[in-house]
Amino acid sequence: MKRIIFLSLIPLFLVNNVFANNQKEHIDIRAARSAANHSDPFCYSLRIDYYPNGQIKEQGCQGHYNAAGISVGNWYEYDLLGMPVRTNYYHPDEFGKDYKIITTYDKNGKVLTKKIYNYDDLYETEEEELNEIPQ
Protein backbone atom coordinates (compact mmCIF):
# COMPACT_ATOMS: atom_id res chain seq x y z
CA MET A 1 0.00 0.00 0.00
CA LYS A 2 1.35 3.39 -0.95
CA ARG A 3 1.95 5.82 1.82
CA ILE A 4 2.14 9.50 1.05
CA ILE A 5 3.37 11.89 3.67
CA PHE A 6 2.79 15.58 3.43
CA LEU A 7 4.90 17.66 5.75
CA SER A 8 4.57 21.37 5.97
CA LEU A 9 8.03 22.86 5.55
CA ILE A 10 7.23 26.34 6.77
CA PRO A 11 6.44 25.26 10.36
CA LEU A 12 9.46 22.92 10.31
CA PHE A 13 11.67 25.78 9.23
CA LEU A 14 10.23 28.09 11.86
CA VAL A 15 10.57 25.52 14.66
CA ASN A 16 14.09 24.63 13.55
CA ASN A 17 15.02 28.30 13.45
CA VAL A 18 13.69 28.89 16.97
CA PHE A 19 15.57 25.92 18.46
CA ALA A 20 18.75 26.64 16.51
CA ASN A 21 18.92 30.14 17.94
CA ASN A 22 17.91 29.07 21.49
CA GLN A 23 15.86 32.21 21.84
CA LYS A 24 12.31 33.33 21.27
CA GLU A 25 11.70 34.49 17.74
CA HIS A 26 9.13 36.98 16.56
CA ILE A 27 7.37 35.51 13.53
CA ASP A 28 5.95 38.10 11.18
CA ILE A 29 2.74 36.54 9.85
CA ARG A 30 2.34 39.37 7.33
CA ALA A 31 5.75 38.53 5.83
CA ALA A 32 4.75 34.85 5.47
CA ARG A 33 1.50 35.83 3.75
CA SER A 34 3.39 38.20 1.49
CA ALA A 35 5.75 35.40 0.45
CA ALA A 36 2.76 33.17 -0.33
CA ASN A 37 1.29 35.82 -2.63
CA HIS A 38 4.55 36.67 -4.37
CA SER A 39 5.28 35.30 -7.84
CA ASP A 40 8.65 33.75 -6.89
CA PRO A 41 8.52 29.95 -6.57
CA PHE A 42 8.67 28.51 -3.08
CA CYS A 43 8.21 25.13 -1.46
CA TYR A 44 5.32 24.61 0.90
CA SER A 45 5.17 20.83 1.41
CA LEU A 46 7.43 17.84 1.01
CA ARG A 47 5.91 14.84 -0.75
CA ILE A 48 7.33 11.38 -0.13
CA ASP A 49 5.90 8.32 -1.87
CA TYR A 50 6.96 4.80 -0.78
CA TYR A 51 7.16 1.37 -2.41
CA PRO A 52 5.32 -1.48 -0.61
CA ASN A 53 8.73 -2.66 0.73
CA GLY A 54 9.17 0.65 2.57
CA GLN A 55 11.82 2.13 0.25
CA ILE A 56 11.28 5.67 -0.94
CA LYS A 57 9.91 5.70 -4.49
CA GLU A 58 9.81 9.47 -5.02
CA GLN A 59 10.35 12.61 -2.99
CA GLY A 60 10.12 16.25 -3.85
CA CYS A 61 8.64 19.59 -3.07
CA GLN A 62 5.14 20.70 -3.91
CA GLY A 63 5.48 24.39 -4.42
CA HIS A 64 3.74 27.54 -5.42
CA TYR A 65 4.41 29.81 -8.37
CA ASN A 66 2.24 32.61 -9.73
CA ALA A 67 -0.88 31.48 -7.82
CA ALA A 68 -0.56 27.85 -8.94
CA GLY A 69 0.53 24.70 -7.13
CA ILE A 70 3.44 23.16 -9.03
CA SER A 71 6.57 21.06 -8.53
CA VAL A 72 9.58 23.18 -7.61
CA GLY A 73 13.22 22.42 -6.93
CA ASN A 74 14.61 18.90 -6.92
CA TRP A 75 12.50 15.77 -7.19
CA TYR A 76 14.15 12.38 -6.75
CA GLU A 77 12.99 9.00 -8.07
CA TYR A 78 14.41 5.70 -6.78
CA ASP A 79 14.19 2.02 -7.69
CA LEU A 80 12.96 -0.73 -5.34
CA LEU A 81 16.42 -1.00 -3.76
CA GLY A 82 16.71 2.73 -3.07
CA MET A 83 19.13 3.54 -5.90
CA PRO A 84 18.53 6.82 -7.77
CA VAL A 85 16.80 6.44 -11.13
CA ARG A 86 16.10 10.05 -12.03
CA THR A 87 16.39 13.56 -10.65
CA ASN A 88 14.17 16.35 -11.94
CA TYR A 89 15.00 19.95 -11.15
CA TYR A 90 12.01 22.24 -11.73
CA HIS A 91 12.52 25.97 -12.18
CA PRO A 92 9.20 27.76 -12.68
CA ASP A 93 9.58 31.27 -14.08
CA GLU A 94 7.92 33.56 -16.56
CA PHE A 95 7.20 32.02 -19.95
CA GLY A 96 10.46 31.53 -21.86
CA LYS A 97 12.59 31.53 -18.70
CA ASP A 98 11.01 28.41 -17.25
CA TYR A 99 12.93 25.14 -17.42
CA LYS A 100 13.56 21.74 -15.91
CA ILE A 101 16.71 19.64 -15.84
CA ILE A 102 16.24 15.88 -16.02
CA THR A 103 19.13 13.65 -14.97
CA THR A 104 18.95 9.86 -15.37
CA TYR A 105 21.17 7.30 -13.64
CA ASP A 106 22.32 3.75 -14.36
CA LYS A 107 21.80 0.89 -11.88
CA ASN A 108 25.03 1.86 -10.07
CA GLY A 109 24.01 5.50 -9.57
CA LYS A 110 26.25 6.97 -12.28
CA VAL A 111 24.83 9.76 -14.47
CA LEU A 112 23.58 8.52 -17.86
CA THR A 113 22.01 11.69 -19.23
CA LYS A 114 21.46 15.28 -18.14
CA LYS A 115 19.15 17.35 -20.34
CA ILE A 116 17.45 20.73 -20.11
CA TYR A 117 13.82 21.15 -21.17
CA ASN A 118 11.20 23.86 -21.02
CA TYR A 119 8.86 23.42 -18.03
CA ASP A 120 5.99 22.13 -20.19
CA ASP A 121 3.57 21.42 -17.32
CA LEU A 122 3.72 24.99 -16.08
CA TYR A 123 2.38 26.61 -19.26
CA GLU A 124 0.80 23.47 -20.77
CA THR A 125 3.12 23.48 -23.77
CA GLU A 126 4.93 20.74 -25.67
CA GLU A 127 8.14 19.58 -24.03
CA GLU A 128 11.19 20.78 -25.97
CA GLU A 129 14.83 20.07 -25.25
CA LEU A 130 16.87 23.26 -24.81
CA ASN A 131 20.56 23.83 -25.52
CA GLU A 132 21.10 25.97 -22.44
CA ILE A 133 19.34 27.31 -19.37
CA PRO A 134 17.12 30.25 -20.38
CA GLN A 135 18.08 33.67 -19.05
Instruction: Please write the tens of the pLDDT for every residue from 67-91.
Output: 778 888 899 999 999 999 999 999 9
Q: Which fold has domain 43-118?
A: Nuclear Transport Factor 2; Chain: A, (3.10.450)
Predicted local distance difference test score (pLDDT) of residue 28: 39
Euclidean distance between CA atoms 17 and 20, whole angstroms: 5
Instruction: Please write the tens of the pLDDT for every residue from 95-120.
Output: 999 999 999 999 999 999 999 999 98
Q: Where are the domains of the chain?
A: 43-118
Question: Which residues lie below 8 Å from residue 81, measured CB to CB, with a gap of 6+?
Answer: 55
Predicted local distance difference test score (pLDDT) of residue 64: 80
Residue 15, SS3 per DSSP: helix
Strands 4-8 and 42-50, by their bridges, are antiparallel
Residue 72, CA distances (Å) to 22, 25, 43, 60, 134 in order: 31, 28, 7, 8, 16
Q: What is the pTM of this model?
A: 0.67
Higher pLDDT, 4 or 63: 63
Instruction: Please write the tens of the pLDDT for every residue from 10-59.
Output: 444 433 433 333 333 343 334 444 444 555 667 888 999 999 999 999 99
Best CA proximity match to 46, nearest among 88, 75, 17, 9: 9
